[in-house]
Amino acid sequence: MTGDGTRVVRAGLPEPAAYEPALPGPVFAAHFHLPGDAEGPYSYGRVSNPTWTRLEAAIGELESPDEPAHTVAFASGMAAITAVLFSQLRAGDVAVLPNDGYQLLPAVRTRLESYGIEVRTAPTAHDAQLGVLDGARLLWLETPSNPGLDVCDIRRLAAAAHDRGALVAVDNTLATPLGQRPLDLGADFSVASGTKALTGHGDVLLGYVCTRDAALADSVQLWRKTVGAIPGPMESWLAHRSLATLALRVRQQAAGALALAEALRERDDVTGLRHPGLPSDPSHPRAVAQMRPGRFGCVVSFTLPDKAHAERFLAALTLVDDATSFGGVRSTAERRARWGGDAVPEGFIRFSVGVEDPDDLVADVRQALDAARRGA
């Protein structure tokens, strides 16, 4: 099976059994019958679960279809991020993080430094982290970055990090494994929040870590077991169910995001427009080189004149939810500066395109922008 649409429908499923569902229902927390010596894959609910196993196998097939990979599922994207960082770093080590990445990374930096780990930061654009790699134990990349949508060269940075003896982890949340495969580009870990586009319905909290190195996978799994950052079986089952439509959703969302970005280029009240699929975007050449064709993500970012203007725009939208999570089947948008922590203007909008008809969505955005300008 080589096609993504075929792969996501079949990924991680057991062999067909007569009178059994294609995806067996979730296995909830309960003791396992263990007569004699405890042998076999399942013994205690915090260690392993058949529902996790199927989901992890499915994600591993998507992140690394041509070479076996190990996946460890977590209760959230942040649980996955911290599992990699805290399972691999020790006092005296150096970690290199993006200074324009996910909003909670500064809090992670504070915690790492409290444990005696040196943290260096640099922007995602122009592969700036190359300049602070010497002596590092781990390089963390986020590409495309959230919310600025800059793209770095994973292959180049991974090669430079490995030359210096450092591990490389890539946050693949925005791209999804159907848009980008960090392990194929040289990364040691591909990490993502399954809360977003992977599951796509805004009803599941989930994260995962994928690696081809069995020893690294074991260390991450031990961290999960120790801190108890385990996914719920129902969430895992829902995530696996949702994977079957991932290729359809990614294709529709990417097409809609590019259509929206093209429409926004025509507006004189929109500045700072970013989307990696736009040929005019500064990240486009890198995105084309390492992301899958036509799959540049569902997020478009842009800036309106000020806070009030942005809030009028959001209020005037009829097909778009004012919400912070992205990657879902329903379009969402938010004035990102309301949270603080991101170095963005007060009128900065992060817009996540859903699976609505692109023409309808573009028409709604245009009327909302017109309404916001009239109310100025």
Spell out the domain ranges in the chain. Answer: 4-243, 246-374
Low-confidence ranges of the chain (pLDDT < 50): none
Report CA 166 to chain centroid distance, whole Å. 22
**Residue environment code for 39-71, b if the CB has 16+ CB neighbours within 10 A, otherwise e:** eeeeeeeeebbbbbbbbbbbbbbbbbbeeebbb
- Distance from C-alpha of 263 to C-alpha of 275, rounded to nearest angstrom: 12
Q: Which of 356, 341, 342, 252 is nearest to 303 (CA)?
A: 342
Q: Which of 59, 87, 41, 85 is nearest to 236 (CA)?
A: 59
Rg (CA), the chain: 21
- Distance from C-alpha of 22 to C-alpha of 36, rounded to nearest angstrom: 33
Confidence at residue 376, expressed as pLDDT on a 0 to 100 scale:
66
Confidence at residue 29, expressed as pLDDT on a 0 to 100 scale:
80
Tokens read off for 359: 């023409």
Phi/psi of residue 321, nearest 5 degrees? -85, 140
Indicate the length of the chain as a whole number: 376
Q: Do domains 4-243 and 246-374 have the same CATH topology?
A: no
Q: Classify domain 4-243 by CATH architecture.
A: 3-Layer(aba) Sandwich (3.40)
CATH number among 2.60.40.1180, 3.10.180.10, 3.40.50.720, 3.90.1150.10, domain 246-374: 3.90.1150.10
pLDDT in tens, 102-111: 888 889 999 9
Query: Bridge-partner residues for 322, per DSSP?
Result: 333
What residue has token string 């390089």? 139
Give the CA angle between residues 307, 313, 319 to the nearest 5°. Answer: 140
- Distance from C-alpha of 220 to C-alpha of 80, rounded to nearest angstrom: 9
Confidence at residue 38, expressed as pLDDT on a 0 to 100 scale:
72
